[in-house]
Amino acid sequence: MHIIFFLILLLSSDLFSKEQSVYDIISKHPNLSTFNEYLNRTELDDVLQKKIPYDWTVYAPSNNAFINVPKELKELILSDNYYSKRLFTDHILAKEILATDITEQVTTELTVSNKPIKLYKSESLFIKDIVIVREDIVAENGVIHIIDCIMFIQPSSQDSRLSPSQQESFPITSCCMQTGTEVSLWRENTKKSF
């Protein structure tokens, strides 16, 4: 009986010693190496490692997300630390949100860049073209969801894919940055707001 208790104690302490932060998981995940490079370059790695009273939710772009980005994204944003940092703070929320926490009820959360983002489950994803490749990678200080694109948040009035009634119902659009026009629009909005 004492041996079993000792083994359980030994194994459980080993498990606790292996708890990893959100940043630790991102830095070691083979499908997030490019995102990790940008976190390091923009010093967001330091932010994700800080001991704070709340947990993180990170929508982490996969390596694949960086392959087919518009050339304007590489030239105007990803090559500039100021804009890269602003872009990737749109991917981080200062609250842990698991996939099971999201329902059909629309909730508004704030990104680290202080932009509101509407989260909800829906059968029709035309409003949001972000595909989550892997969800709920839980860390000691939050959760990571791997996405297959570089996300940006914009006022829906600027999203030409939405009808006027959709723009009114959903004032903020989260979507994948896929065109040079979207890159320019995001950069201009970011320039004005910072």
**Digitized pLDDT (tens) for each residue of the chain, 194 residues in all:** 444 433 343 343 333 334 799 999 999 999 999 999 999 999 999 999 887 888 999 999 999 999 989 999 999 999 999 999 999 998 998 888 787 776 666 666 777 777 766 665 554 333 356 777 888 899 999 999 998 889 887 777 777 777 888 777 767 777 788 889 889 988 988 875 54
Distance separating alpha carbons of residues 110 and 129, to the nearest angstrom:
19
pLDDT, position 132:
77
* pLDDT at residue 49, rounded to an integer: 87
DSSP letter assigned to residue 100: G
What is the pTM (predicted TM-score) of this model? Answer: 0.77
Q: Quote the pLDDT of residue 107.
A: 67
Predicted confidence at residue 156, as pLDDT, reads 75
pLDDT of residue 116: 65
CATH among 3.30.565.10, 1.20.1260.10, 2.60.40.10, 2.30.180.10 for 20-193: 2.30.180.10
Quote the DSSP letter at residue 119: E
pLDDT of residue 11: 41
Q: What angle do CA 182, 145, 128 make, to 5 degrees?
A: 35
- Give 142's strand partners: 56, 139
CA neighbor of 90 nearest in space, from 111, 73, 69: 111
3-state SS class at 38: helix
- Positive or negative CA dihedral for 168, 127, 112, 39? negative
Q: Are 111 and 72 in contact (CB under 8 A)?
A: no
Angle at 90 between CA 89 and CA 95, to 5 degrees: 80
